[in-house]
Structure 1
Amino acid sequence: MIVLEECVSPHVAMVQRDHIRLAWRTPYRTLERVRPMAWTCICRATVYELCQGGGQAFIRRTVQLDDMPEVRETPRWPINEARAVWAALLSGRAR
């Protein structure tokens, strides 16, 4: 009997035609302590994390490539604003 593991983290919905385009930048160190607070399932090639630290938050995007992962981050926002963008990302209204 083969048991398939189910995904426990959310998947990002298909991007909507009128979605918000996020600015993705090379990561830069501005916060000493950053902690992922939410993330998408690692079964997809692209994984997103909602990261928080120092009263700010941002979204980290990792594209899992064969040779080396490609990591990009959004600008920092106040935590409540970042949570709203995170919800938009999960629903396909932002990418």
Structure 2
Amino acid sequence: MTVLDECLSPHVAMLQRDHVRLEWRTPYPVLERARAVAWTCFCRATVYELCEGGGRAFIRRTVQLDGKPEVHETSVRPINETRAIWTGLLSGRAR
């Protein structure tokens, strides 16, 4: 059994040549009650979370290097739009 066989969360697919480049920003407390509803596997250095709250959503990216995680987030958008971006991220069509 390999480490990937033990993972329960999805992994981000290889980046596609014609991918959409997402704008990543420093986090700010725009959605106080947002909660992660989906995430990628924590076995990778970069973890993504789909966060939703109050009818709005964003994606959080955490890069876990050298013991100090760097966190960035996309802008807040309607849930359906953010879920479409999430799907693109998982399939390698957005990053």
Aligned-pair Cα RMSD in Å: 1.5
Counterpart CA distance in 2 for 1:31 and 1:54 is: 8
Structure 1 ranges of 4+ moved more than 4 A: 2-5
Instruction: Identify, as 1 or 2, the structure richer in strand.
Output: 2
Unaligned runs of 5+ in 1: none
Residue 87 of structure 2 corresponds to residue 87 of structure 1: yes
Residue in structure 2 matched with residue 23 of structure 1 by the alignment: 23
**TM-score, normalization by structure 2:** 0.94
Query: Which has the greater radius of gyration?
Result: 1
Alignment of 1:15-94 (within 5 A): 15-94=15-94
How far is 1:72 from its partner? 0.2
% identical aligned pairs: 72
How far is 1:67 from its partner? 3.2
Instruction: Identify, as 1 or 2, the structure richer in helix.
Output: 2
Residue in structure 2 matched with residue 8 of structure 1 by the alignment: 8
